[in-house]
Structure 1
Amino acid sequence: MSERGPWRTAKLREIAAIYSGGTPSRDTPAFWGGNIPWLTPGEFSGVERSVTTQTQEFLTSAGLRSSGAALMPPGSLLVTTRATLGACTIAGVPMATNQGFKNLIFNTQVANPQFYLHVIRGLKRELERRASGTTFQEISGREFGDIDVPVPPLVEQQRIVDIIKTADEQLSADLQILHKEKLLQDAVFNDQLTVHLQQYEQAPLRDISREGGGQYGSSTAAVTFDSRLPRYVRITDINDQGCLLSDPSSAASIPWEQAQRHLLSEGDLLLARTGFTTGKSYLYHPDDGVCAYAGYLVRFRIDASILLPTYAFIWCNSKFFKKWVAQNIREVGQRNISAREYNEHQIPIPPMEDQLRLVRAWNAARSKSRLREQGIWRSKMVKLALTDGLLRGDAHNEGST
């Protein structure tokens, strides 16, 4: 161990035993379906879990022996080190992992696993620097074990864990309130759309589109995001609320020449046509900047003299549209719904005053939700700054001066 800053530092291998995971043969049924939880990096997609007690797959004792993986005890820290780097969770029950993990059993005389969960989550750049590989990035056991980490006194580790836990609990409470508000809003708008379905005639999407139906996007490969070029809107750039992701690190661009035929105009409605997010929708607004759309999306230029584009977007987020997608999606090969099939989807066409009434109510509800989302985002930024400062020992420095 060495001294650096307010606390001593150590290499991970000096304060924890490091184990790799493994995968038994899929061709041997006797290895699968037992009672040993078996974790894979895919289960972390879009999810951050401090403690894991359930997994999607289970091994038998024979499968565990065949895999070469160790059974990790509760309190072990499980860290993804292959393809996905630095996602981590604490084992809440005895479990094994596949080879996409490096797993740590800490010396609890000097290390609190909950503290090092936060430390490793903050080491993404260091993990990326140490990773290698052509097909996907991976960190070797030696490289992983050589990472330097702070080692504050145990009482200080626990104090930091408690502070971060309090911040997490407040964020969780705010997210629950937001979720309940959105559920209530969805119920209200679905009830109103039910009335519209009962009272008004319907028309297919192709008949309310100014281009006579859906148009596929560009097949051009994305280039690194450049503010001088159009933003390239792909399925993965659209969140569950139908907004573009604000994280600039996830954005991409498309060259002007290839973008021309696929540039978006105000009121353009995009629908995802393939994959597990088939049916996801996005309504373009000029505030999102100059954008063109990619080939796995279908564009509808809604004729606002027939149907307000925002009304069409509300409909495409309703239970009725989602049910239609579930009934019409093709599961052979890649899940998909074609532009031709979207063209035939029926939408109620209320009188314009009824459309306006619903759109105004929806805009007001969305503005309220966005204010809460902005507050949650600010809280997350404060929590990240707080966590970063605590893990650097800023509070320790202040207390010692």
Structure 2
Amino acid sequence: MDKKPEKLVPEVRFKGFTDDWEQHKLGGVAKIIGGGTPNTKIPAYWNGTINWYTPVEIGKKIYINESQRKITLDGLKHSSAKLLPKNSVLFTSRAGIGKMAILGEEATTNQGFQSIIPIAKELDSYFLFSLSNQLKYYGETHGAGSTFTEISGKELAKFKLILPKLNEQKIISKLIMMMDKLISLQQRKLEFLKEIKKGLLQKMFADKSKFPILRFEGFHNEWEQRKLKNVYQKIGNAFVGTASPYYVDAGHFYLESNNIKNGQINRNHEVFINNSFYQKQSNKLLHTGDLVMVQSGHVGDTAVITQEYNNSAAHALIMFRNPKDKFLSDYLNFYFQNTSAKNKINVLAIGNTIRHVLASDMSRFSVYFPNKDERKYISNLLLKLQYTITLQQSKISQLTILKKYLLQKLFI
């Protein structure tokens, strides 16, 4: 008995849709057109009104409306560039294959594209754009060329995609578009928060004038310049040397420079050490409230040791231990994120191949300090702002995961 062919349906569907999806080749549901460049030595071909895109302009926005350079009608007529209608999907075909964007206005491109013009009754532009990861992978694995990989329009036309009827495509596209808009909105909020933080970091710390530009009400005294060795009881290096023989799959978390970024400790990269090696570093363990600084590579990045990392061992970091009062480390952690402080550390850094800074130099490093109460106000404000930024980053991550889940369930 012949086995019935497997039905082509997604795992999750909108109510009212029951038809099987059908497999198509991209060339059967869309036209694929290459681009071209008018002669750059003929001024009459340039600075016109027709949008003309290059691959470097693609990848940051879904819909694009205005190119960096424009060509004239004569430039269009005397080149292999083709005028593409609104809602065409641009696809970079070389040197970074697979970046995509949808045209918000008619345009042309250079030869670094294979642009896709969906057949109106067969394929929705946003539905196709939602398959960008699949198209990118196909382009990278089916491209050819000895100097650089490039996929031809003929080869891209062979890409197989499984499609529902157009009305179901449009409903799916509407949902994915809503997700993309929501993620984009949250990303703009995140960038706005980061800009606020950047501005505050430049204005809330005093320089040689001994007064900051921006200040809390009620504080008027000039700030005092102090060396870091006078505000921490111990400043020195964590273990420096080869630690890899002591690495284990599970053991004591080993804090390294890869874990220090943007003023925080992350676990994106984890290394663990065995107990005997950990015990040998008992006199160099970090405690809650200490500050650590990256010593080589991305020199000067800092983070405060939170309760989670109390009694941690560290590798190739400068350790500022036992601060003489609360909020010192939080205050300094934010101070080291401002441009002025970064520049001062870069001046101290030595080495041609890999730049590094010495613990002894950081002991003598001078910083302007307000009194304890003002430090507390500054630190609390910036801690709350950093917490809001972290929450915003988490929200974007969750939305991105949700979108990925929907793409897996709504598409075949």
Q: Is the 8 A contact 1:269 1:284 kept in 2?
A: no
1:142 matches 2:154:
yes
d(CA) in 2 for partners of 1:67 and 1:244?
A: 54
Alignment TM-score, normalising by the size of structure 2: 0.63
Distance 1:120 1:189, change over 3 A: closer
d(CA) in 2 for partners of 1:63 and 1:139?
A: 25
Opposite residue 386 of structure 2, the aligned amino acid is: R
Q: Is the 8 A contact 1:303 1:309 kept in 2?
A: no
d(CA) in 1 for partners of 2:125 and 2:98?
A: 15
- Secondary structure of the equivalent of 2:120? coil
1:199 matches 2:199:
no
Choose which of 359, 363, 368 in structure 1 pairs with 2:379. Answer: 359
Q: Is the 8 A contact 2:260 2:294 kept in 1?
A: no
Structure ranking higher in helix proportion: 1
How far is 1:171 from its partner?
2.8
Q: Is the 8 A contact 2:235 2:321 kept in 1?
A: no
How far is 1:112 from its partner?
1.2
Distance 1:20 1:303, change over 3 A: farther
d(CA) in 1 for partners of 2:229 and 2:144?
A: 49
- Secondary structure of the equivalent of 1:126? helix
Opposite residue 41 of structure 1, the aligned amino acid is: P
d(CA) in 1 for partners of 2:63 and 2:255?
A: 37
Distance 1:272 1:16, change over 3 A: farther
Task: Write out per-residue CA displacement over residues 34-70 of structure 1, whole angstroms, 9 at most, x where no aligned residue.
Answer: 322222222235x2x2210022222334444455221
1:22 matches 2:45:
no
Task: Write out per-residue CA displacement over residues 71-90 of structure 1, whole angstroms, 9 at most, x where no aligned residue.
Answer: 21211110122222322111
1:370 matches 2:393:
no
Task: Write out per-residue CA displacement over residues 354-389 of structure 1, whole angstroms, 9 at most, x where no aligned residue.
Answer: 445533442333223212321221111011111232
- Secondary structure of the equivalent of 2:52? strand
- Structure 2, unpaired ranges of 5+: 1-5, 10-19, 213-220, 237-247, 272-285, 348-354
Opposite residue 411 of structure 2, the aligned amino acid is: L
1:72 matches 2:118:
no
How far is 1:91 from its partner?
0.9
- Secondary structure of the equivalent of 1:348? strand
d(CA) in 2 for partners of 1:284 and 1:99?
A: 50
Q: Is the 8 A contact 2:291 2:333 kept in 1?
A: no
- The residue that corresponds to 1:315 in the other structure is 335
1:385 matches 2:405:
yes
From the CA coordinates, give the structure whose radius of gyration is larger.
2
Task: Write out per-residue CA displacement over residues 197-250 of structure 1, whole angstroms, 9 at most, x where no aligned residue.
Answer: 3822558999999999xxxxxxxxxxxxx999x99979xx998x566898x7xx
Alignment TM-score, normalising by the size of structure 1: 0.65
Between stretches 120-129 and 372-381, larger displacement belongs to: 120-129
Distance 1:70 1:189, change over 3 A: same
- The residue that corresponds to 2:49 in the other structure is 35
Task: Write out per-residue CA displacement over residues 241-273 of structure 1, whole angstroms, 9 at most, x where no aligned residue.
Answer: 566898x7xx899xxxxxxxxxxx984545999
Q: Is the 8 A contact 1:41 1:100 kept in 2?
A: yes
Choose which of 118, 121, 131 in structure 2 pairs with 1:119. Answer: 131
Distance 1:372 1:11, change over 3 A: same
- Secondary structure of the equivalent of 2:82? coil
Alpha-carbon RMSD:
5.2
Structure 1 segment 198-277 matched on structure 2, within 5 A: 199-201=222-224, 241=262, 267-269=291-293
Identity %: 22
- Secondary structure of the equivalent of 2:49? strand
Aligned positions, number: 350
Opposite residue 174 of structure 1, the aligned amino acid is: Q
- The residue that corresponds to 2:24 in the other structure is 10
Choose which of 368, 390, 397 in structure 2 pairs with 1:348. Answer: 368
- The residue that corresponds to 2:241 in the other structure is none
d(CA) in 2 for partners of 1:385 and 1:50?
A: 20
d(CA) in 2 for partners of 1:318 and 1:182?
A: 13
Distance 1:159 1:190, change over 3 A: same
